[in-house]
Structure 1
Amino acid sequence: MSLFVEFHLIQNFAPSNLNRDDTGAPKDALFGGHRRARVSSQCFKRAIRLNAAAAATIPAQNQGVRTKKLKQLLETRLTVLDRPEAGVQIEAALAGAGLKLKEDGKTEYLLFLGQGEIEAFAQLIHKHWDALAAAPAPDAKKSKKEAKASLPPEIVKEAKALLNGQKAVDVAMFGRMLADMPGVNQDAACQVAHALSTHRVEREFDYFTAVDDKGDADETGAGMIGQIEFNSATFYRYAVIDAAKLVGNLHDDRELALIGIRAFVQAMARAIPTGKQNTFAAHNPPSFVGVVLRHASPFNLANAFERPIWPKADKEITTLSVEKLAKHDAQVSGFYGDGKDVWAYLDMTGAWPGDKGEVQPSLDALATWVETHVRAELGA
């Protein structure tokens, strides 16, 4: 049976510019015919990954890293293994896996690798040190296929087999795609939607000046002037984890999958993008965090806000948003659900119906609830 772990959040941010476009303006989108504030899924996914790493809720060996500096990481690890000056061996080993380094020592494109994959490469190089040292010097004119052909077949086979995720939770969650190496692609077990404001927004401008602390008496005016665009919005955030897919991506390690799901509950609620935070300090936690276990199919409830929320004198926009979210879920699940949805939630607004799931006293309690129920569903 399919099991989808869904996350529905209502989060109001003070004036901020958390995720900006190429002009420096806060990202936005048209939805329901009205301009909405937007924070991209990529932005929130990075914030979630970094939050989970900082909180150490996932074992270090099961974390991932996104980088072009694989050679540098391997050099550091090989120095610990008493294998200094490993440049030739590293390039040869990476060529065996189908990866090529540019003249600056970086990979051709950004890689999303598990720490276990990096460690496995270091061990491969350590094991085949002499054979890799004897490999022909890398040639920028050679194709990747030609570079592989110059290595012993057993090394090529081992190198290619290393890129299997090595149980990196964030790689298993968010997936990866390398166009020229489809064999190492990983379909994501987690999908994250772009966060959209539940109401209309207008961009605002902050005109600022900076004074020269060492200015002379005859030097009037500012030492610098400029402007920053910002907005303030109540966002609806949505994500869903396919629990069975996550277990499969982690090589059927159910316990690690449960650790990953618990960590995601915590990070989804705590993670806040870092854009312009030194200017705005918009550290505002969600007013509502709802988690629902579904079986029929996942339901993004953004259409609850197709008609934007309008302010009322006696209610906060967050409260109105939670009310509308609950009403829309009842309609959607009534039409398309299987009657087996199970909710748990944190609610600072008091607007979520008391008979719709189990209220939790804290984020940690919510994470425990999710872990317990998913464990029961998976039979772990």
Structure 2
Amino acid sequence: MTTPRFLQIHTLHGYTAALLNRDDTGQAKRLRYGGQDRTRISSQCLKRHWRMAVDDPHALQKLADFVASYRSRELVTEKVIRPLEGRFPEEVVEALEPAFQRLVYGKNADKGKRNRQTLLLGQPELDWLAAQAEEIAGRVSSAREAEEAVKEWAKDKNFKIMSENAALPGGLVAALFGRMVTSDPAANIEAPVHVAHAFTVHPSESENDYFTAVDDLRRDEDDSGADTIQETELTSGLYYGYVVIDLPGLIANCGGDRELAARVVHNLVHLIAEVSPGAKLGSTAPYGRAELMLLEAGDRQPRSLASAYCKAVPHDPAIAREALQDRLQHLDEAYATGEARAHMCVGGELAGIEKLPLPRLAVWAAERVKDAPHA
């Protein structure tokens, strides 16, 4: 067996009469593939629901070594400056904020919230900033003194200093999905978890849903119509999803803690299989679990199996499974890269590949992390 550098995760998920991911016009997102329109779920949508599934038994937040992250344009305002209010003179607190905003958000910070990058910072970085602000506020007594003190303080400060001595400076979310900081490229964190946009294996299936709302307190007996008339799009689909985990990269982003990285992969496998994009919950109940999950561990460049559906197949899990197996067989014959494999399937199976229930499949994935090479 090869030393596993990459873990590839292929899935088939089915959803009926839902609107999982909308574009700027309120319609379902789409992708043109194989000459036909497919319904799409963006990678951003998928990642957000996995990381925000805080009540799930396998939530990332429930890991023993979880370190929180916050994504916002107002991290300094809410996490650094707001805690000082009422404890130090107002003029001092106000004088501190501009320098801290520039440190985090760069030169555009002074132009207001709308011009700041929506940035992801970890709890260790925010704690360090808050402690620095409190220390300065505690040793000055006027706005002028505060401005001079913070100006001198900020001369040699950058993200590297903020993150020193922290195993997960940007938090666990940044360790998985990366971070880009335009004001300080050295603060960027490479994402070891790569997520593709999911798309339907068949042509888009959609219809416009015409619906009404009636005023329960209507007094006009002659008005028998609806108080509100609206229309929305509903789609049904069987989606192919694809995720790649760079195992050495994940271990490195976890501060070299291989055990933590293994627990992260274990939980992430569960989240990918079981957590649905949660749009329009009350009106569509868009809950679904993976019909199929195939895991591959190997040392060669990953490759998607999306081409199994370049020619659209019927909306049928069994046919989609057969198409996936057929494509995998052809790739094996051509490349013979020798990945280790295991899978979970709701009815049926992938021939010649070990079939496991999801809990054991997640354990199988975690064990691959323990065998991965160093970055």
Q: TM-score range by the shorter chain?
A: 0.7 to 0.9
Q: 2:356 maps to what in 1? A: 360
Give the 3-state SS of the residue equivalent to 1:287 in structure 2.
Answer: strand
Q: 1:172 to 1:159 in 2, by over 3 A?
A: closer
| Partner secondary structure for residue 329 of structure 1 | helix
Q: Check the 8 A contact 1:247/1:257 in 2, yes or no.
A: yes
* Distance in structure 1 (CA, Å) of the matches to 2:127 and 2:22: 35
Distance 1:103 1:153, change over 3 A: closer
Moved more, 27-36 or 50-59: 50-59
2:313 matched to 1:318?
A: no
> How much has 1:88 moved relative to structure 2?
3.5
- Partners in 1 of 2:152 and 2:140 — Cα distance? 9
Shift of 1:74: 2.6
Deviates more, 1:102-111 or 1:261-270: 102-111
Aligned to 1:346: 344
Change (3 A) 1:87 1:323: farther
Q: Which moved more, 1:319-328 or 1:52-61?
A: 52-61
Match of residue 53 from structure 2: 51
Partners of 2:130 and 2:32 in 1: CA distance: 48
Alignment of 1:133-282 (within 5 A): 151-152=151-152, 156-157=156-157, 160-163=160-163, 166=169, 168-216=171-219, 217-282=221-286
Aligned 8 A contact 2:4 2:368 in 1: no
Question: Which of 108, 112, 115 is the aligned partner of 2:123?
Answer: 115
Once residues 287 and 145 of structure 2 are traced to their aligned partners in structure 1, the CA distance between those partners, rounded to angstroms, is 51
**How many residues align structurally?**
362
In 1, are the aligned partners of 2:8 and 2:297 still within 8 Å (CA)? yes
Within 2, Cα distance between the matches of 1:137 and 1:266?
Answer: 53
Q: Could you say if the C-alpha distance between residues 76 and 257 of structure 1 is closer, same or farther in structure 2, counting changes exceeding 3 Å?
A: farther
Deviation at 1:39, TM superposition (A): 0.6
Report the secondary structure of 2:290's partner residue.
coil
- Equivalent position amino acid for 2:307 in 1: N
Residue 162 of structure 1 deviates from its aligned partner by 1.1
Aligned twin of 2:329: 330
Identify which of 30, 34, 37 aligns with 1:35.
Answer: 37
2:259 and 2:128 mapped to 1: Cα distance? 22
**What one-letter code is carried by the residue in structure 2 that aligns with 1:127?**
E
Superposed counterparts of 1:96-107, under 5 Å = 96-97=103-104, 99=106, 101=109
Match of 2:74 in 1: 69
Q: CA separation in 2, counterparts of 1:305 and 1:104? A: 46
Using the size of structure 1 for normalisation, the TM-score is 0.84
Identical-residue share of aligned pairs (%): 28
For residues 330 and 299 of structure 2, what CA distance do their matches in structure 1 show? 17
Indicate the RMSD between aligned Cα atoms, in angstroms: 3.1
Q: Which residue identity lines up with residue 221 of structure 1 in the other structure? A: G
Change (3 A) 1:132 1:59: farther
5+ long unaligned stretches in structure 2:
none
Return the alpha-carbon distance in structure 2 between the equivalents of residues 137 and 220 of structure 1. Answer: 70
Residues 2, 244 of structure 1: 8 Å contact kept: no
In the superposition, relative to structure 1, how do residues 63 and 300 fare at CA in structure 2: closer, same or farther (>3 Å)?
farther
2:294 aligned residue:
290
TM-score between the two structures when normalised by the length of structure 2: 0.85
- 1:144 equivalent in structure 2: none
The 1:68/1:218 distance shift into structure 2, 3 A limit, reads: same
Structure 2 residue 124 is matched with structure 1 residue 124: no
Say if 1:377 and 1:180 are closer, same or farther in 2 by CA, change over 3 A. Answer: closer
Q: Give the secondary-structure state (helix, strand or coil) at the position aligned to 1:207.
A: strand
Query: Aligned partners of 1:137, 1:215: CA distance in 2, in Å?
Result: 64
State the distance in 1 between where 2:191 and 2:216 align.
Answer: 52
Distance 1:228 1:351 in 2: 37
* Higher deviation after alignment, 291-300 or 98-107: 98-107
Query: How far 1:272 moved relative to its partner?
Result: 1.4
Q: CA deviation at 1:49?
A: 1.0
Q: Deviations over 1:62-85 (max 9, x none)?
A: 2322112212123465579x6696
* Partners of 2:18 and 2:236 within 8 A in 1: yes
Shift in Å, 1:9: 0.6
Q: Which residue number corresponds to residue 5 of structure 1?
A: 7
3-state DSSP of counterpart to 2:240: strand
Worse-matched range after superposition: 45-54 or 4-13? 45-54
Pairing partner for 2:100 from 93, 96, 108: 93
